[in-house]
């Protein structure tokens, strides 16, 4: 059994971040994109908590709690946008919501 170091957490966070980015870029479904953003935020949380543990203080954890609160707000706002999107276009495919361009 090898010890789990900071690097492991960081790699896990980077992986989560990359997952989130890919989800944002590749998915057309707005809910999917929202989930991708949540993944990105949580990747940051992982990093913050890992660094807090590494430096042995609570600063990072406080930040992580703030981010979680932020994520909750963001999810509420984003879901509201998605509902409106659906009402307006009859779909949650973000590609249809390119009205400014057309």
Partner 1 sequence: MADYFIHVCIAIFLLPLAAFGIVALFHNRLPRHGDWIVISFMGIALILALVIFGGALRAAAHHQPLSQQRSWEWLWLNFPKSHAAQTGAAGAAAHAPIEGVSPSGAVRVGILLDGLTAVMLVVVTVVSFLVFLYSSAYLKGDVRYGRYYACLSLFATSMLGLVLSDNLLTLYIFWELVGFCSYLLIGHWFERKSAADAAIKAFITTRIGDVGMLIGILLIYSNVGSFRYEDIFRYVHDGGMSDSVRILGLEGSLRFWAAIGLFFGAMGKSAQFPLHVWLPDAMEGPTPVSALIHAATMVAAGVYLVGRMHPFFPPEALLFVAYIGAITAALSATIALVMDDIKKVLAYSTISQLGYMMLGLGVGGEVGGVAAGFLFGLFHLTTHAFFKAGLFLGSGSVIHAAHHEQSMWQYGGLARKLPVTFATFLIFTLALCGFPYLTSGFFTKDGIIGAALQFGMQHPTHKILGWTALGAAGLTSFYMFRLIFLTFFGQPRNEHLYHHAHESPWAMVLPLLVLAVLSLGFVGSNRTFGLIHEASWFSTLVKRPTPGAHSAETAPAAEPVAAHGAESAAAGRGSEHGTDSVHLLPEAHHQALVGSITVFLAGLIGAALVYYFQWIRAEAIARLFRPLYVLFLNKWYMDHLYRACVILPYLALCYFIRLVDTYVIDAVVNFWGWAGRAGAWLVGRVDWGVVDGAVNGTAWTTGFAGRLLRFTQTGLVRNYILILVAGATVLLLLFWKI
Closest to partner 1 by CB, 1 vs 100, is: 100
Given the structure tokens 């900071």, which residue do they identify?
6
Closest to partner 1 by CB, 87 vs 101, is: 101
Q: Does 1 bind partner 1 (CB under 8 A)?
A: no
Q: Does 79 bind partner 1 (CB under 8 A)?
A: no
Q: Does 26 bind partner 1 (CB under 8 A)?
A: yes
Q: What separation in angstroms does the CA of 24 have from each of 21, 36, 57?
A: 5, 5, 33
Q: How far apart are CA 41 and CA 20, in angstroms?
A: 9
Closest to partner 1 by CB, 8 vs 28, is: 28
Q: Does 78 bind partner 1 (CB under 8 A)?
A: no
Q: How far apart are CA 42 and CA 50, in angstroms?
A: 12
């Amino acid at each position: 059994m090898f010890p789990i170091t900071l690097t492991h957490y960081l790699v896990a966070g980077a992986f989560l971040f990359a997952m989130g980015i890919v989800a944002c870029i590749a998915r057309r479904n707005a809910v999917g994109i929202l989930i991708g953003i949540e993944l990105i935020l949580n990747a940051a949380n992982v990093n913050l908590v890992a660094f807090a543990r590494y430096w042995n203080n609570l600063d990072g954890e406080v930040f992580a709690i703030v981010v979680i609160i932020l994520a909750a707000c963001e999810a509420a706002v984003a879901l509201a946008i998605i509902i409106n999107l659906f009402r307006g276009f009859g779909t949650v495919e973000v590609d249809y919501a390119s009205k400014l361009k057309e």
